[in-house]
Amino acid sequence: MKDHRWLEGQGTLMSVLVTVLILIGGLVEIVPLYYVRSSVPPIDGVKPYSALELEGRDLYLREGCYNCHSQMVRPFRDETERYGPYSKAGEFVYDHPFQFGSKRTGPDLQRLGGKYPDSWHYYHMRNPREIVPGSVMPNYPWLHTSKLDTSLTQKKMQVLRKLGVPYSDEEIAGAAESIKIQSDDILGRLKAEKVDEAQADREIVALIAYLQKLGSDIHWREAQQ
């Protein structure tokens, strides 16, 4: 007890020891992250987001969708029965940051891709109650009128490559063309689904691309058929 009280009375020494302990604790948490890729490899079929899906993901973050929706199906029967196969670490290797979430005011979205047609998402984002009566989700009508800003897409992909996402030089250089091709593809499906007012260069198209990507790489829906 006396030794402990003596140490507490030595302000400088106590500060040095506390700093050393914090540094050790920090290294224990940080150093393993440099080796995480070797212990959590990507799952076969899981691919980085396309340029358009990446922009859609940023819109998802901008609008705060993660505040009400998680993207983490836990390994419990009630979750797998409702949402699909439980989430695996290898599915998230290209997510920076992860969208695990901590609250479910709305359903989990990890297995959303391919569950509904593009038109469902188009109308649902405009007014959720048109599709789901009683929904408490807010309307997002500006997504349908605001043009998608792609001026920083290439820079975003370059930064993500530094973080380990394997974008090639060709993919980065061709981001604009990739966005146009995928946007036109989604627009074609929307037109086929009688959404005549849809436009390819709007934010809603990028968000639809992202939502339809979620959980689709592992092709679990096809396996159930």
Q: Does residue 87 sit in the same domain as residue 26?
A: no
Q: Does residue 24 sit in the same domain as residue 52?
A: no
Cβ count within 10 A of residue 10: 11
Distance between CA 122 and CA 119 in Å, rounded?
Answer: 5
Q: Does residue 9 sit in the same domain as residue 102?
A: no
Predicted local confidence at residue 3, as pLDDT: 66
Number of domains in the chain: 2
Predicted local confidence at residue 12, as pLDDT: 82
CA distances from 157 to 21, 89, 187, 217 (A): 37, 22, 24, 20
Predicted local confidence at residue 39, as pLDDT: 65
DSSP-derived secondary structure letter, 41: P
Predicted local confidence at residue 223, as pLDDT: 74
Predicted local confidence at residue 66, as pLDDT: 94
Q: Does residue 31 sit in the same domain as residue 138?
A: no
Q: Does residue 34 sit in the same domain as residue 50?
A: no
Place of tokens 């390994």: 75
Q: Does residue 63 sit in the same domain as residue 98?
A: yes
What is the pTM for the complete model shown?
0.84
Q: Does residue 16 sit in the same domain as residue 61?
A: no
Predicted local confidence at residue 14, as pLDDT: 77
> Which CATH number do you get for residue 120?
1.10.760.10
Residue 49 backbone phi and psi in degrees, to 5: -65, 140
CA distances from 213 to 56, 90, 114, 116 (A): 10, 15, 8, 12
Q: Which residues of the chain have pLDDT under 70?
A: 1-4, 7-8, 35-39, 225
Which tokens in the block code for residue 136?
């408490």
CA 10 to chain centre: 49
Predicted local confidence at residue 41, as pLDDT: 74
Q: Does residue 25 sit in the same domain as residue 65?
A: no
Predicted local confidence at residue 45, as pLDDT: 87
Q: Does residue 111 sit in the same domain as residue 218?
A: yes
CA distances from 87 to 73, 111, 137 (A): 5, 9, 25
Cβ count within 10 A of residue 167: 20
Predicted local confidence at residue 102, as pLDDT: 82
Q: Does residue 102 sit in the same domain as residue 14?
A: no
Q: Does residue 48 sit in the same domain as residue 133?
A: yes
Q: Does residue 32 sit in the same domain as residue 48?
A: no
Q: In terms of residue numbers, what domain contains 22?
A: 2-38
Tell me which residue of 104, 95, 82, 85 sits closest to 36, measured CA to CA: 95
